[in-house]
Amino acid sequence: MTRILIVEDEIIVAMFMEDILAELGYEVAGVVSHLDEAMKRERDFDVAVLDVHLNGRNVFDFADKLTAEMVPFIFATGYGERGIPERHRGCLVLQKPFQPDDLKRALEKLVVPAPPNGAAHASGQAIST
Amino acid sequence: MNLHVSPSMNDLAAPDFLKDGGACGAVLRQRNWDATQMGAVQDWPPSLRVMLRTVLASHQPMWLWWGADMIQFHNDALIPLLGNRHPDALGLPAKRAWREGWKQIAERAQAAMAGHACFFEADALAMGRGAEEESYYTFSLSPVCGEDSAVSGVLGIITDETDQVRSSRMLALEIEHRRRIERHQNLLLDELNHRVKNSLATVQAMAMQTLKGVDAPARDAFLARLFALSSQHDLLTMDNWEGASLEGVVRRALRPWREEGQTRFTVDGPAVHLDTKRALALGMGFHELATNAARYGALSNTTGIVAVSWDIAPDGRTLRLIWRETGGPAVAYPQRKGFGLRLVEHGLGRELGGMVKLDFAADGLVCEWIMKLE
């Protein structure tokens, strides 16, 4: 099953994303709300969803690290595309607030499509990337 | 005694050729030149006389330097630029006439005497305004040939550019100042957008959590309104919160109901700019009308059409806006008006300072707004 890391400092939004991801059939590897924590995180995830502003710092150092390690990620930000620096233009950007479907479509562009709803626990259907 | 004759080239021959030279000409005429290195006036060469007459008669600030010591002759137009150097400077060697300003142009003056014409634009010179006051001049120095075709003097032509230089500097400062304000405003706007969006995302998450499994239609209606609000904010963000076009507001509000390859909406009207308050209020109004149409009206079947049109009254500031549904199921006057229609009918009427009329015509709902634009 594809494991997703949520990088988000708004705890309610993070919980919401956990629920959506579970419903979509993904495994949530964890929620991280500080940049330092994100930078130190072991590679126990396949994809990351990144809030841009984390407790007063921006997430771009971590995005650089993921780019270097070839780990796919999605930005989720209130700024929309114009808050993304030149070097990360072309990355997937979700404009907050977003609908569960928007997140689903973005993830499907990055990884093998999630199994149909509710089928997540059936063995052999979810393919880890 | 009647020596006055009309000025003509013949006068150049007369010792009285300085008489049409204004105040400077008068000073020069009264001076006894015999004892100076210039010698008696009647012996001055024709080339000097022609030049001097031209300079003295001109309204353009000018001077002439003549001879090895560059004796200065200037005209009345130059007097304001010389300050207290006039009238002493008349007939003095340039070096003394220009006092502390001489070192700034001595080299250029000597180059002109050596036959090299030159031109300077908005150059800082210590003229008569005083050394402490910055002043700028555009001027040229041109060699003047005497009878033997050798350079005998220099013609200086000058324009005071101080005011222009100062105002263009002020303008540059003002532009820089405005740029700084603009950058600051953009930062604030980015922060505002970010906070609004994050707050909306939090509200969305709370609603999803709170209403989970409780009342799906209520939750969906709430989320649709939240997204309508969020979407209209995007429109305002794109224009830095300076408002939005009416057409943009309409199209954005109707976006969730658009279907690929199908024409369910027509949008037609002249370009109208809305301020942020009107843009947000109308955006929400269209959202409610479309929601209502999707439940009961023209968007509830596969054939209905919504036509949105507007025009501006001849006074240029009264907007008349019509939402007209056709092709939907037969319309009956609702027994109870929900939040959406109440918002459209009363809320918007009050908020936009206009008049709203809802007509539940049998072949489709018609909503007409009339409001003043600022």
Check A97 against B204: CB less than 8 A apart.
Answer: yes
Q: Which option is the CATH number for B9-160: 3.40.50.2300, 3.30.450.20, 3.30.479.10, 3.40.47.10?
A: 3.30.450.20
Interface test with A, best of B208, B211, B212 (most A CBs within 10 A): B208
Q: Is the CB of residue B224 less than 8 Å away from at least one CB of chain A?
A: no
Residue A38 lies in a domain: yes
- Distance of alpha carbon B116 from the chain centroid: 41
Give the tens place of pLDDT for each residue, B216-247.
888 888 888 898 888 888 877 777 778 889 99
Give the tens place of pLDDT for each residue, B28-75.
988 888 888 899 888 899 999 999 999 999 999 999 999 999 999 999
Residue A115 lies in a domain: no
For residue A99, the domain's CATH number is 3.40.50.2300
CB B78 within 8 A of CB B176: no
pTM assigned to the model = 0.58
Cβ within 8 Å of B, A 9-48: 10, 12-13, 15-16, 19
Interface test with A, best of B194, B199, B234, B239 (most A CBs within 10 A): B194
At residue B8 the predicted structure's pLDDT band, cuts being 50, 70 and 90, is very low
| Other CB atoms within 10 A of residue B348 CB | 22
Residue A40 lies in a domain: yes
Report the residue of chain A nearest B201, measured CA to CA.
A97
How far apart (Å, rounded) are the C-alpha atoms in residues B216 and B206?
14
Check A95 against B196: CB less than 8 A apart.
Answer: no
Interface test with A, best of B202, B206, B235 (most A CBs within 10 A): B202
How far apart (Å, rounded) are the C-alpha atoms in residues A27 and A129?
12
Query: ipTM greater than 0.85, yes or no?
Result: no
Q: Which of A7-16, A111-120, B184-193 is the most confident on average?
A: A7-16
Residue A128 lies in a domain: no
Check A96 against B208: CB less than 8 A apart.
Answer: no
Residue A70 lies in a domain: yes
Give the tens place of pLDDT for each residue, A60-116.
999 999 999 999 999 998 877 777 889 998 899 998 888 888 999 999 988 755 555
In this prediction, residue A115 carries a pLDDT of 53
Give the tens place of pLDDT for each residue, A13-48.
898 899 899 989 999 999 999 999 999 999 999 999
- Compute the 3-state secondary structure of chain A and give helix, strand, coil in percent, each to the nearest 5: 35, 20, 40
CB B364 within 8 A of CB B298: yes
Range of A80's domain? 3-110
Give the tens place of pLDDT for each residue, B285-324.
999 999 999 989 999 998 899 999 999 999 988 999 999 9
Which one is predicted more confidently, B143 or B362?
B143
Would you state the structure tokens that stand for residue B154, as one six-digit string?
């220099």
Q: Which CATH code for domain B217-372?
A: 3.30.565.10
Residue A119 lies in a domain: no
DSSP states along B235-286: HHHHTTTS-EEHHHHHHHHHGGG--TT---EEEE----EE-HHHHHHHHHHH
**Number of domain units in chain A:** 1
